[in-house]
C-alpha cells in the first residue's frame, strides 16, 4: 500500500465524520459502509476524487472487489491500479 494513497484515503474519511479506532491499523480495517462513514450516493464523490488525484480509472470489477468497502482495502486497490495501470 502506497503511503500517499493511505494518507489521502484516511484524510478523506477523517474530514467527513472521523474514523472509529484508536490506531492506524484499526482505522484501516473499518468498513465505511457498515459504520455509516459513507452513504451509497457519496461513493461517486469518493471515486471521482480518487480518479482525479491518482489518475486511475475504476472498473466495475475493482468496485466489486471484497476489499473495496474497507479503508485499507480501498487504499490497496488504488495502489495496485497505480502499480499496474490498465
Structural domain 3-83, CATH architecture: Orthogonal Bundle (1.10)
Ranges of each domain in the chain: 3-83
**pLDDT for the residue numbered 41:** 86
In angstroms, how far is the first alpha carbon of the chain from the final one?
18
What is the arithmetic mean of pLDDT over 22-44? 92
Average pLDDT of the chain is: 94
**pLDDT for the residue numbered 82:** 96
**pLDDT for the residue numbered 17:** 86
Predicted TM-score (pTM) of this structure: 0.92
Q: 3-16: per-residue pLDDT in tens?
A: 999 999 999 999 98
- 79 vs 7, 25, 28, 29, CA distance in Å? 12, 17, 14, 16
What are the φ and ψ backbone dihedral angles of 31, each rounded to 5 degrees? Answer: -85, 110
Is 31's pLDDT higher than 90?
Answer: yes
Which residues, other chains included, contact 34 with Cβ-Cβ below 8 Å and sequence gap of 6+?
69
Amino acid at each position: 500500500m502506497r503511503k500517499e494513497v493511505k494518507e489521502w484515503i484516511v484524510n478523506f474519511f477523517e474530514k467527513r465524520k472521523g474514523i472509529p479506532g484508536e490506531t492506524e491499523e484499526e482505522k484501516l480495517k473499518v468498513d465505511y459502509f457498515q459504520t455509516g462513514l459513507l452513504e451509497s450516493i457519496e461513493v461517486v464523490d469518493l471515486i471521482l476524487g480518487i480518479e482525479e488525484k491518482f489518475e486511475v480509472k475504476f472498473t466495475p470489477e475493482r468496485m466489486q472487489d471484497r476489499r473495496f468497502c474497507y479503508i485499507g482495502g480501498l487504499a490497496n486497490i488504488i495502489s495496485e491500479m497505480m502499480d499496474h495501470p490498465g
